[in-house]
Structure 1
């Protein structure tokens, strides 16, 4: 009898400003963020091609957003994938802030350092 595949796990890695999703101990994807005035600004999500088609991006983002809620922060979805996820998951609408030109300019400045 074969063992079922281990469930993916999501961890926040503050030193790298990202959430990572691990499959059997291997990093399969990430959701990158920067924090600003009580907001967690998500700007990039990716899943390695070797793990594509397993729904990992959805698991990653759902758990990352749940962590944002638990941390008492608000979500700013600059990342297109996070924005798309939020349109389908209205349970996070109460902690979601709009992407503004000010936030985008701030993010460009932070990422260019």
Structure 2
């Protein structure tokens, strides 16, 4: 990862500030399932791979914690299709 992503478990999100802009991947944890609900990167800092780094951090945290992942937001769903190495973590709604 090229950005220093922080896991803010109290806020149920992964986050990083880039050029003063807060970028987030938000999730909801129910039991052992992390539902990714939103990925947000302001247009001012878009196109730098920030969303991919946020998603990678989330999937790696899920793997380390033994969680499954439900990619409910559109970005997370596309990310999963591009990264089959996370297929073993995916659950469907």
| TM-score between both structures, scaled by the size of structure 1 | 0.75
Greater Rg by CA: 1
Q: Which residue of the partner structure matches residue 67 of structure 2?
A: 73
Aligned residues: 92
Q: RMSD in angstroms over aligned alpha carbons?
A: 1.4
Question: Which structure has more RCO (C-alpha within 8 Å, separation ≥ 6)?
Answer: 2
1:46-97: CA deviation from partner (whole Å, max 9, x where unpaired): 1012211111111111121111111111101101100100011011101110
Which ranges in structure 2 are unaligned for 5 or more consecutive residues? none
Q: TM-score, normalised on structure 2?
A: 0.90
Tell me whether 1:29 sits opposite 2:35 in the alignment.
no
Tell me the CA shift for residue 27 of structure 1: 4.9
Runs of 4+ in 1 over 3 A off after TM superposition: none
Q: What is the distance in 2 between the residues matched to 1:60 and 1:27?
A: 14
Matches within 5 A, 1:96-107: 96-98=90-92, 100=93
Q: Which runs of 5+ in 1 are unaligned?
A: 1-6, 101-113
